[in-house]
Amino acid sequence: MHNVTLIKGDGIGPSIMDVAVKIIDASGVKINWEEADAGMAAYDKYGTAIPDQTLISIDKNRVAFKGPLTTPVGKGFRSINVALRQKYDLYANIRPARSWKGAQSKFEDIDIIVIRENTEGLYMGLEHYLTKEKDVAESLAVITRKGSERIVDYAFKYARDNGRKKVTLCHKANILKYTSGLFLDVGREVAARYPEIEFDEKIIDATCMHLVMDPHQFDVIVTTNMFGDILSDLTAGLVGGLGLIPGANIGEDTALFEAVHGSAPDIAGKNLANPAAVIMAGVMMLQYLGERDAANRIQAALEKVVNAGDNVTPDLNPSSRAGTIEMGEAIIAEL
């Protein structure tokens, strides 16, 4: 029996998480789901977006399965996603983008893993105004040797353990000579320890162009926090959008699994949300928990349903009459 903290989240979160939990339970894996609140739902209930009970639950279980959380833009509470990544030092964010037969996209046969440093850089939240008038603002990016080394090493180990051939490190060291420069220097040192894996380094703007013009040259990409956030949406776009991209946040002793997409308030409560990304996040969680057989079976059932294209949400097939619930039922029937 595994103990997992379950945060259903905001907007479309509860509907897609209910489907994902039902599918995982139907696979036969024994999970004791400990439900906890976070985000807007928690803020409305307890006056805090991350109640102590939720942190106590994650402290105990060390594995969390989380739906998307709404974050107010430009004001209000800080992103809970960022806070959780920092509190549990979830330094590696793995975001795979793969082509699907059943999803319309501009390219075929894409298989790119973005590995993003998740705790440093411009997302540390070190922001403030420099003047009383609030007309000059400053944001600090912090890059450390330790943080750079462990994420690039994670990327090379991931490549080695998953039969991958190449790691591309993305940076902006031509302009950001200290921060991005340190990341690149450390990256080169780590790469030298893995001669069996091809190493490439690319400036971030060139990477964006190459990803759009010739994405098949990419295999594993490793990069700093904000670049990774942006690049992984770009790779999502190459394979048909955010509805199909899961994300794992991995630390030394804690891991949190979620979709890359947000709470999609525009379609919340309409049975329209595609549950595939959180289902795949569940698959990544089962792999992490050592439940490889169940993970493979769920992935195969999901692929069958998505590729058949009848019982899928409208973002995958606009003429489909199925919604979130029906897609979940079809996957369970396949299982």
Catalytic residues: 123, 172, 205, 229
> Minimal distance in Å, beta carbon 276 to ligand NAD?
7
77: amino acid identity, one letter: F
Size, binding site for ligand NAD by CB under 6 A: 20
> Minimal distance in Å, beta carbon 313 to ligand NAD?
6
Residue ranges in 216-245 that form contacts with ligand NAD under rule CB under 6 A: 242-243
Residue ranges in 6-35 that form contacts with ligand NAD under rule CB under 6 A: 12
Residues 305/331, Cβ–Cβ less than 8 Å: yes
- What is the rounded distance in angstroms from the CA atom of residue 163 to the CA atom of residue 167? 12
The residue (of 5 and 274) whose beta carbon lies closer to ligand NAD is 274
CA torsion sign for 64, 68, 69, 72 is positive
The residue (of 135 and 266) whose beta carbon lies closer to ligand NAD is 266
The residue (of 9 and 215) whose beta carbon lies closer to ligand NAD is 9
What's the CA angle centered on 54, arms 148 and 35, to 5 degrees?
115
Residue with the two structure tokens 């990069």: 223
Residue ranges in 103-122 that form contacts with ligand NAD under rule CB under 6 A: none
Residues 23/331, Cβ–Cβ less than 8 Å: yes
The residue (of 116 and 261) whose beta carbon lies closer to ligand NAD is 261
Cβ neighbours of 290 (radius 10 Å): 9
Residue in 133, 135, 266, 321 binding ligand NAD, rule: CB under 6 A: 266
Alpha carbon separation from 256 to 67, 96, 148 (Å, rounded): 10, 15, 21
Q: Is 263 in the site for ligand NAD (CB under 6 A)?
A: yes
Q: Which stretch binds ligand NAD (CB under 6 A): 17-25, 69-77, 195-203, 304-312?
A: 69-77
Residue with the two structure tokens 């690039």: 152
Q: Which stretch binds ligand NAD (CB under 6 A): 136-144, 188-196, 254-262, 282-290?
A: 254-262
Per-residue burial over 156-173, b = 16 or more CB atoms within 10 Å of its CB, e = otherwise: bebbeeeebeebbbbbbb
Q: Which stretch binds ligand NAD (CB under 6 A): 24-32, 63-71, 112-120, 146-154?
A: 63-71
Residues that bind ligand NAD (CB under 6 A): 12, 68-71, 81, 242-243, 258, 261-267, 273-274, 277, 315
